[in-house]
Structure 1
Amino acid sequence: MTSKWRRLTDRLTGKTEPEPLWTEGVPDHLDVPIREWLYDVLSHYDMAQPVAVRLKLPSRILKARDPYAELAVLDDPKNPMLRLEVIDATLGCVQQALQGAAWQHIQTAASYVRQLEGILREGDSAFTVSEDGSGLERRMDETLHATYDKAVEAGASKADTAANHLRAAFTEAYGIKPDPSAAYSRAIKAVEAVANPLFLPNAPEPTLGKVRAHLDQGRHKYEMVIADKTGAPADIDAIVAIVSLLWHGQRDRHEGGPTSAPVTLEAAETAVHTAAILVHWISSDSIRKK
């Protein structure tokens, strides 16, 4: 969610377009709030060493008189994402340190997370805190995020692994260091987690490709809950097309072929949202046997 606030001059002139998001690093207007937040969290949880080690930072950071202050203002003109990486690593280290901690300590950490999210949102940063508070991710359009949330919820009702794979796919696609190949692979696994048991319950080695073939060859056996233009249940052509798109689009599944190619970030993001739709439809019985 981005900030809903508008400048007085924008309100007076009727401007309704949202402010552009800051897509790289920590802009000047967020420098002080971020610096103060980082210092508070790093010092409160004594996280200078874990963060410096995780990011493989030079030893001068920990040798400094105040390592927390050094980390809080750390910048590198050659790596404008460095401050965001420090924030991301700090969130991850705190999350790891709090595993099994008392309730009040977990609540304090949650308060820090809410404070950071408020800073990023009001400052129109393109980054936000991940759902589990363990790191940063790129901010997604609210409508798309709502679709993703519904898919995770629906997938979890059928198989925990579907929801887990979908969350992992989202993190790999929208994290501050995206891994398109991993995101695409996880997206397919999320769909397989709900589709394989439903369509190929007895198959020894079910895959999304086999699900696609099963549906393609058995179109007459299934229907959609949504109606077609005649008012009858629609056929499953759309499902077959979407599954085929997702399956065939993973061009890095095998190496050495004439159409093999690395997965782009844009393709990975599309795959994640395609998988979310399929997981939601399959989990909510939008496709059924006749």
Structure 2
Amino acid sequence: MTSKWRRLTDRLAGKTEPEPLWAEGVPDHIDVPIRDWLYEVLRAYDMATPVAVRLKLHSRFLKSRDPYAELANLDDRMNPMLRLEVIDATLGCVQQALRGAGWKDLQTAATYARQLEGILREGDSAFTVSENGGRLERRMDGTLHATYDKAADAGASKTEAAADHLRAAFSEAYGLKPDPGAAYSRAIKAVEAVANPTFLPNDPEPTLGKVRSRLDQGRHKFEMVIADRTGAPAGIDAVVAMISLLWHGQRDRHEGGPTSAPVTQDAAETAVHTAAILVHWISNGSIREK
């Protein structure tokens, strides 16, 4: 979500539509605060070498008199995303370096992450700091993000694996370098983590496809907590349709078939949100046996 603050002239004009997000690189109006943030964090955690190695940057950066400043000021007009990659790599390297660190060190890193998020949010950047502070992600609509958060919490109440898969699916779909295939696969695993033990408790090799078959063939045995137009518990047609959509839509699961195809970014994002709804419903008991 973007900053809610509006300049005086916009408020006087009654402007209500959200500001457009800056979807590529670091815009000029936040260039200086981003540079200052990067320089401070790179120096504080001695991250010049790990970041340069991770990004496979030219050795001249590390040979310079002040490699922290070189990285903090790095800008490439031919590759405007490079600045974001430096920020992303810095977050990741700091998180890796602090594994097993004490509470105070973790809190300091969290403060740095919040500072960065504040700059990106106020600057209407299309990117945000991930929930764990270890990477950049594309900014999502606030309502959609709230739905995702509730689904992750609901999944965690059933099994932590569901929440982990859902968070991973979100990161793969909305990360700085999205991986649609990985996001789709994780989305299915998130649903399987709650659906398999709920609907196939005794199956030694449960899959989402088997869950779909069981619900499809046993529609008369299940109902929703929500009512239909007659006031009776609704059937599970919508659930079967959503699981079928998710299951059949993963066209990269097997190679060599006539309908095999790479997963697109739009399909991956749709799969992640479909999975979030299913995880939420199944975890909360919205689908129940009669």
Q: Confirm or deny: 8 A CA contact 2:138 2:175 kept in the other structure.
A: yes
**Map of 1:1-290 to 2, 5 A cutoff?**
1-290=1-290
Percent identity over paired residues:
83
Corresponding residue SS for 1:76:
coil
**Partner deviation per Cα, 1:120-142 (whole Å, 9 max, x = no partner):** 00000000000000010000000
Q: What amino acid does structure 1 have at the position aligned with 2:17? A: E
CA distance in 1 between counterparts of 2:224 and 2:172 reads 31
* 1:43-95, Cα deviation, whole Å (9 max, x unpaired): 01100001011111110110011000000011222221100000001011111
Counterpart-to-counterpart distance in 1, 2:18 and 2:41? 31
For structure 2, the 5+ residue unaligned runs are none
- What is the rounded CA distance, in whole Å, between the counterparts of 1:119 and 1:240 in structure 2? 43
Q: Report the Cα offset of residue 28 of structure 1.
A: 0.7
Q: Distance in 1 between matches of 2:28 and 2:153?
A: 38
Shift of 1:35: 0.3
Give the counterpart letter for 1:188 in structure 2.
Answer: I
Q: For 1:31-50, what per-residue CA distance to the aligned partner results, in whole angstroms no more than 9, with x for missing partners?
A: 10100000000001100001
* Separation (CA, whole Å) in 1 of partners of 2:43 and 2:283: 45
Compute the displacement of 1:102 (Å). 2.1
Runs of 4+ residues over 4 Å off in structure 1 = none
* 2:2/2:19 contact within 8 Å kept: no
Amino acid at match of 1:158: K
The residue type equivalent to 2:267 in the other structure is A
CA distance in 2, matches of 1:148, 1:214: 26
Unaligned residue ranges in structure 1 (runs of 5+): none
Write out per-residue CA displacement over residues 192-217 of structure 1, whole angstroms, 9 at most, x where no aligned residue. Answer: 00000011111121110110011000
> Residue by residue, what CA displacement relative to the aligned partner does 1:174-229 show, whole Å, maximum 9, x if unpaired?
00000000000000000000000011111121110110011000001000000000
Q: d(CA) in 1 for partners of 2:230 and 2:18?
A: 42
Computed over aligned residues only, the root mean square deviation of the Cα atoms, in angstroms, reads 0.7
SS in structure 1 of the partner of residue 128 of structure 2: strand
- Superimposed CA distance per residue, residues 86-123 of structure 1 (whole angstroms, 9 cap, x where no aligned partner): 00010111111111212221111111111100000000
